[in-house]
Amino acid sequence: MTTIPQTDFKLLEERLGYTFKDKNILMQALTHRSYLNEHSDFPFEHNERLEFLGDAVLELIVTEHLYLNYANPEGELTNWRAALVNAKTLSGIASQLAFEDYLLMSKGEAKDKNSKARMYILANAIEAIIGAIYLDGKAPGAEGFIHKHILSHLPFILKNQLYIDPKSKFQETAQEMLGVTPSYKVLKEVGPDHNKEFTVGVFLEKELVAVGSGTSKQEAQIAAAQAGLEAKHWATGTLDAKDEK
């Protein structure tokens, strides 16, 4: 059985801005399901139940903050919240906090560092950490973490309009700057019906601006639109591990 010595948690807790009274619940928050497949005698559960709790706590605290501080319509606040709590944002925050080395995963998952699956593992671990902090320190602890590490990114998201999905942003910008409505075309499909990958191109009239891929046509279109924004230098920013808070 492999464990992380408790003394190793000091630096992690400094990054999180929270010191756990119960180190076991922190260990559980850092344990991915795949790790238990290789370590059946491990004494802690995986982190999915904590993730379930943390997801609810995160949404409530973010929603309350937006409601109390902004008089915008419900639809706008919903988009802002989605931009704050989606997997891409949360995985970027996980990278900022540099706690990936503390995550317990199977050998296969540990090697697969750049996949979409890793992004979701990191995002889910953030939610599990929030759930663990809520159980260990109740609402004040969770609120402190969320305000410091998640809501602090709201000004950047608003300034760079990251709450607008890439397809909408690409279309609005293309129409405004060029008077052209983009179109999308499937360029390639590979794999069996239950596990297809689509490659889609985004066009401005006859010009192929960029391509994107995904496990659905919609996902591939979004990826193509994001690539198109970058190709045209219309993307004003993305939230990642390098962004200042």
Look at residue 68 and tell me if it is in a domain: yes
Token couple for 40: 């059946």
Tokens 């969320």, residue? 146
Instruction: State the pLDDT at residue 205.
Output: 95
- Name residues whose C-beta falls within 8 Å of residue 112's C-beta, 6 or more positions apart in sequence: 118
Tell me how many domains the chain contains.
2
Instruction: State the pLDDT at residue 65.
Output: 97
* Domain containing residue 65: CATH number: 1.10.1520.10
Instruction: Clarify whether 127 is annotated catalytic.
Output: yes
Q: Could you say which of 51, 55, 109, 136 is catalytic?
A: 55
197 and 139 within one domain: no
Query: Which of 159, 176, 191 is a domain's end point?
Result: 159
87 and 178 within one domain: no
190 and 132 within one domain: no
Query: Which of 159, 184, 204 is a domain's end point?
Result: 159
* Domain containing residue 180: CATH number: 3.30.160.20
Instruction: State the pLDDT at residue 225.
Output: 94
Half-sphere exposure of 172 (CA within 13 A, CB side): 9
**What does the DSSP 8-state code read for residue 39?**
-
38 and 132 within one domain: yes
Q: Could you say which of 51, 109, 127, 143 is catalytic?
A: 127
Would you say 227 and 210 are in contact if contact means Cβ atoms under 8 Å apart?
yes
Q: Which of 63, 104, 106, 103 is nearest to 85 (CA)?
A: 63
Look at residue 1 and tell me if it is in a domain: no
Range of the domain at 37: 6-159
Q: Which of 100, 98, 110 is nearest to 37 (CA)?
A: 110
Query: Which of 137, 159, 181 is a domain's end point?
Result: 159
Q: Is 107 exposed, middle or buried (0-12, 13-18, 19+ CB in 10 A)?
A: exposed
pLDDT tens, per residue, the chain with 245 residues: 444 444 478 899 999 999 999 999 999 999 999 999 888 888 889 999 999 999 999 999 999 999 999 999 999 999 999 999 999 899 999 999 988 889 998 887 777 776 778 889 999 999 999 999 999 999 999 999 999 999 999 999 999 888 988 999 899 999 999 999 999 999 999 998 888 899 999 999 999 999 999 889 998 999 999 999 999 998 765 555 444 44
182 and 106 within one domain: no
